[in-house]
């Protein structure tokens, strides 16, 4: 594999530079003196930011985008083998690195490299760790999979020995990393277009954990089924956190939820209260995320006061139960949930906050995930009073597998739920404007572009 020499900056081209992770990595290289260019199918606020910082941005992907002085090309798992820029790079014999391989090489430059993994909760937990480290004035470099207002985006270039990033399991990407601290939040069935089954996913996380050096640290959720057997041969130190197992290294006591669903609680380590946390985001799942963040912070030597300051009133990132606004007494929330577990957690939280009718507009994400988890999606979505389905957002997929959102609608109807399906956002908006009444809650949900629907209703 081609190795980047960070002491000798070269010219790097990114295929798919507009992605949340790719744009961040491009900014890291730019800060280290590399000349950077990149392309994407459409420009965005992320590419505009990079362009303003000095990156050459191309809209659309074509062979001519690869300038004569490009030394190495970075691409993502979403790039197909017939991509014109990828083909041109191969024809010229240019070195190629995946996004994950580049991220792994960047991590090698930091004595304290934290990789936060799990089927869900990565962005929130990474953001929580970020807030704690900023409160402790540790000047970290951060790569997060969402927009975090306290750092003004998805990347923060620090000048310390500490680097924190999300670690995605898709295509075994996190096997290319070199962390000194790992977090495993949860392990559930997902990305079944790549993994064979849940056992295959568990084995991938096991391989990820074994990457840690003997002096490294694994922070793992003790509520993961049979986690001890899964991690039994890990050579490094391991600490656990749990909402349900009082024997875990980190657990909680005196949990209280206010009228907005925000939790306050004591963090207990080995039967001793070490911090009192008051979050500004709702849901039990965020208590678990905070426990993981506290464990990481302590491993990095952060004091109690900074941990409490960092998490005090934590507001989250964009698209994580984000209140977008109100329209005629109707509250509109947006959430990135696209896995049944995430949907269930979000809707359960919404149920606790609002007694009137709960509407959910759900945009299924990828045909593979929708087909594999169809029953689980229906059960989770049934927590809403009324459900509206959009077309499936295909993301990287081209094969429909013979399914559509209509199949999911039938599953919901079989559960006795009132469900609607529309082909376009315009149709959904018109329907909602006639159906919603003051006091109701509307959640737009999914990992695609469904966020635009609520924003259109609000005129944002």
Question: What are residue 277's DSSP bridge partners?
Answer: 265
Examine the pLDDT at 149 and tell me if it is beyond 90.
no
Q: Report in angstroms the alpha-carbon separations of 35 from 48, 51, 329, 354.
A: 17, 12, 50, 51
The yes-or-no verdict on residue 353 having pLDDT over 90 is: no
What is the percent of the chain with per-residue pLDDT over 90, rounded to a whole number? 77
| Coil vs helix vs strand at 325 | strand
pLDDT-derived band at 153, boundaries 50, 70, 90: confident
For residue 317, pLDDT beyond 80? no
Mean pLDDT, rounded, for 144-169: 90
For 386-424, write each residue's pLDDT tens digit. Answer: 999 999 999 878 889 999 999 999 999 999 999 999 999
Active site residues: 122-123, 166
Q: Are 407 and 378 in contact (CB under 8 A)?
A: no
pLDDT band at residue 145 using 50, 70 and 90 as cut-offs? confident
Position 319 scores a pLDDT of 74
Residue 350 confidence (pLDDT): 87
In this structure, the number of other CB atoms found within 10 A of the CB of residue 226 comes to: 9
Q: What pLDDT is recorded for position 55?
A: 96
Q: Mean pLDDT over all residues of the chain?
A: 92
E-strand stretches of 222-319: 237-241, 250-257, 262-269, 272-282
Q: What is the pLDDT of residues 29-69, one digit of tens each?
A: 999 999 999 999 888 888 999 999 999 999 999 999 999 99
pLDDT, tens digit (0-9, with 9 covering 90-100), for 191-216: 888 899 999 999 999 999 999 999 99
Is-contact 19 76, C-beta < 8 A?
yes
pLDDT at 441 over 80: yes
User: Average of pLDDT values for 14-34?
Assistant: 93
**pTM of the complete model:** 0.82
Cβ-Cβ contacts under 8 Å for 386 (sequence gap 6 or more): 357, 358, 359, 360, 417, 418, 419, 420
Interior/surface letters 397-415, b for 16+ CB within 10 angstroms, e for the rest: beeeeeebbebbbebbeee
What was the pLDDT predicted at 315? Answer: 83
Residues 284-296 have a mean pLDDT of 95
The pLDDT score that the predictor gives to residue 207 is 96
Give CA–CA dist 54/35, Å, rounded.
9
What's the rounded Cα separation, in Å, for the pair 42 and 58? 9
Tens of pLDDT, residue by residue over 68-98, are: 999 999 998 778 889 999 999 999 999 999 9
């Amino acid at each position: 594999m081609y190795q980047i020499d960070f002491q000798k900056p070269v010219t790097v081209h990114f295929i798919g530079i507009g992605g949340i992770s790719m744009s961040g990595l491009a900014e890291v290289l730019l800060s280290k003196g590399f000349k950077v260019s990149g392309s994407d199918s459409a420009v965005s606020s992320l590419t505009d930011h990079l362009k303003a910082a000095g990156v050459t941005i191309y809209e659309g992907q074509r062979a001519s985008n690869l300038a004569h002085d490009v030394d190495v090309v970075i691409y993502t798992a979403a790039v197909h083998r017939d991509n014109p820029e990828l083909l041109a790079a191969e024809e010229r014999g240019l070195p190629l690195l995946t996004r994950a391989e580049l991220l792994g090489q960047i991590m090698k430059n930091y004595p304290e490299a934290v990789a936060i993994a799990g089927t869900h909760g990565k962005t929130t937990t990474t953001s929580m760790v970020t807030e704690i480290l900023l409160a402790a004035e540790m000047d970290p470099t951060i790569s997060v999979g969402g927009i975090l207002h306290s750092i003004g985006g998805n990347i923060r270039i620090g000048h310390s020995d500490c680097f924190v990033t999300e670690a995605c399991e898709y295509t075994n990407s996190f096997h290319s990393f070199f962390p000194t601290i790992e977090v495993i939040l949860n392990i559930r069935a997902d990305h079944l277009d790549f993994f064979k089954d849940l056992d295959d996913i568990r084995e991938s996380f096991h391989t990820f954990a074994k990457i840690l050096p003997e002096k490294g640290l694994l922070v793992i959720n003790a509520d993961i089924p049979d986690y001890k057997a899964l991690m039994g041969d890990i050579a490094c130190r391991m600490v656990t956190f749990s909402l349900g197992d009082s024997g875990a290294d980190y657990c909680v006591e005196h949990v209280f939820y206010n009228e907005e669903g925000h939790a306050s609680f004591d963090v207990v380590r080995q039967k001793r209260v070490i911090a009192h946390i008051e979050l500004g985001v709702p849901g039990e799942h965020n208590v678990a995320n905070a426990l993981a963040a506290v464990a990481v912070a302590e491993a990095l030597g952060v004091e109690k006061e900074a941990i409490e300051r960092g998490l005090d009133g934590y507001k989250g990132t964009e698209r994580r139960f984000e209140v977008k606004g109100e329209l005629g007494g109707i509250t509109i929330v947006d959430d990135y949930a696209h896995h049944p577990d995430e949907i269930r957690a979000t809707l359960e939280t919404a149920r606790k906050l609002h007694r009137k009718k709960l509407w959910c507009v759900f945009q299924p994400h990828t045909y593979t995930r929708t087909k594999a988890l169809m029953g689980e999606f229906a059960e989770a979505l049934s927590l809403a009073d009324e459900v509206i389905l959009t077309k499936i957002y295909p993301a990287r997929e081209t094969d429909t597998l013979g399914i559509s959102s209509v199949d999911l609608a039938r599953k919901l109807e079989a559960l006795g739920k009132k469900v609607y399906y529309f082909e376009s956002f315009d149709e959904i908006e018109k329907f909602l404007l006639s159906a919603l009444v003051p006091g109701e809650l509307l959640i737009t949900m999914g990992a695609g572009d469904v966020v635009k629907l609520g924003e259109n209703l609000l005129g944002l």
